[in-house]
């Protein structure tokens, strides 16, 4: 039986693996069907992780040493897809894998993350990481003193537009409707910000670019007219898909308490509503969706998992 099963191999899962093994748990497996690293491996440059000072450090280069460091202390990586986590009457967790096999675990840390929803316009995937972004905090600095476009009409889109307006000369806020689905105070702040231009009743049809990256975006309006906006950066904020499938039980309910948007409810210790089950990183509620925060979550969850195993099984 595993002391701890870690589901997901991003920054949260890897850090959890480092802390659980180094902290004394003997049998810890991280289940990650692909190569460890998470979403951050798609980033073209890392500038905001403390201590990562190398120039032009890519997300892939940044994450490469993490698995080796974790495995030095005994973390095992199993390249299996976990399809469900359940719990038996004795409080032991059952890890069901896609091949039908199972593992038993005393504790579980889930760090399966989330994925930003794609808008679906032409060129979005082609230029992702080369001018198309889903994180203003991560990539906004690259457009300091330049113009950018923001796609979306919810709280996140408007808040990120306000953030970008502080460092960019102009922000084009493109929304398919003429009204926003954000907090009234946030809408008022956006409308009062002089370098945010509202581009309403329009949707991005195609992002334009060359070998260097994005050069602009073509917007099509409800009356079929179009407009080309020349910008080097396009930020898409139309929501996230939480990777919570592993928590869905046979009867369709979730193993633990969730928010309406499908994020895992946790306390400050990353504890869920189920004893011995912890959630970390982008899948938990109110996650800042930053690598440094996900890593911190993983460490907190790991320390709690160690305490849980020591208290209940030793």
Angle at CA of residue 209, ends 207 and 210, nearest 5°: 160
The mean pLDDT of 275-293, rounded to a whole number, is: 95
Taking 80 as the threshold, does the pLDDT of residue 195 lie above it?
yes
Alpha helices in 131-258 (DSSP H): 136-139, 155-165, 184-192
Identify the residue with better confidence: 299 or 290: 299
Measured CA to CA, the distance from residue 68 to residue 74 in angstroms comes to 10
Q: What is the pTM of this model?
A: 0.81
Per residue in 37-73, pLDDT (tens digit) is: 988 887 767 878 999 998 888 889 999 999 999 999 9
The mean pLDDT of 141-167, rounded to a whole number, is: 95
Taking 90 as the threshold, does the pLDDT of residue 309 lie above it?
yes
Helix axis angle, 11-22 to 291-313, nearest 10°: 40
Query: Same domain, yes or no, for 123 and 231?
Result: yes
Number of domains in the chain: 2
Q: Which structural domain range is residue 300 located in?
A: 2-115+240-313
Measured CA to CA, the distance from residue 3 to residue 29 in angstroms comes to 9
Active-site hit among 3, 4, 70, 138:
138
CATH number at residue 66: 3.50.50.60
Which pLDDT score is estimated for 44? 67
Measured CA to CA, the distance from residue 161 to residue 287 in angstroms comes to 19
Active-site hit among 61, 135, 155, 293:
135
In the annotation, is 138 catalytic? yes
Query: Same domain, yes or no, for 245 and 225?
Result: no
Query: Same domain, yes or no, for 275 and 260?
Result: yes
Strands (E), the chain: 2-7, 28-31, 76-78, 82-87, 93-97, 102-110, 114-116, 132-133, 147-151, 170-175, 196-200, 202-210, 213-221, 226-229, 233-236, 240-242, 277-279
Alpha helices in 51-205 (DSSP H): 59-63, 65-71, 136-139, 155-165, 184-192
Active-site hit among 4, 70, 139, 256:
139
Query: Same domain, yes or no, for 105 and 11?
Result: yes
Are 162 and 193 within 8 A, CB to CB? Answer: yes
């Amino acid at each position: 039986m595993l002391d701890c099963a870690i589901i997901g191999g991003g920054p949260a899962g890897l850090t959890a693996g480092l802390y659980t093994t180094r902290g004394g748990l003997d049998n810890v497996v991280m289940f990650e069907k692909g190569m460890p690293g998470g979403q951050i491996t798609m980033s073209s440059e890392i500038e905001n992780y403390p201590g990562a000072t190398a120039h032009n450090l890519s997300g892939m280069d940044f994450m490469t040493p993490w698995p080796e460091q974790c495995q030095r202390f005994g973390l095992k990586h199993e390249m299996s897809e976990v399809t469900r986590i359940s719990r038996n009457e004795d409080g032991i967790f059952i890890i069901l894998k896609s091949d039908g096999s199972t593992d038993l675990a005393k504790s579980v840390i889930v760090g399966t993350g989330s994925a930003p929803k794609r808008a679906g316009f032409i060129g979005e995937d082609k230029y992702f990481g080369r001018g198309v972004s889903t994180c203003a905090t991560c990539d906004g600095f690259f457009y300091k003193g330049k113009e950018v476009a923001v796609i979306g009409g919810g709280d996140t889109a408007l808040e990120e537009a306000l953030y970008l307006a502080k460092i960019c000369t102009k922000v084009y806020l493109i929304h398919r409707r003429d009204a926003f689905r954000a907090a009234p105070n946030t809408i008022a702040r956006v409308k009062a910000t002089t370098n945010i231009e509202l581009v309403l009743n329009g949707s991005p049809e195609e992002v334009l670019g060359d070998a260097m990256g994005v050069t602009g975006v073509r917007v099509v309006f409800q009356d079929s007219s179009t407009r080309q906006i020349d910008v080097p950066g396009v930020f898409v904020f139309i929501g996230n898909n939480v990777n919570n499938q592993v928590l869905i039980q046979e009867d369709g309910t979730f193993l633990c308490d969730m928010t309406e948007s499908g994020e895992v409810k946790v306390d400050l210790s990353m504890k869920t509503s189920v004893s011995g089950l912890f959630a970390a990183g982008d899948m938990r509620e109110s996650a800042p969706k930053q690598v440094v925060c996900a890593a911190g979550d993983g460490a907190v969850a790991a320390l709690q998992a160690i305490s849980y195993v020591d208290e209940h099984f030793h």
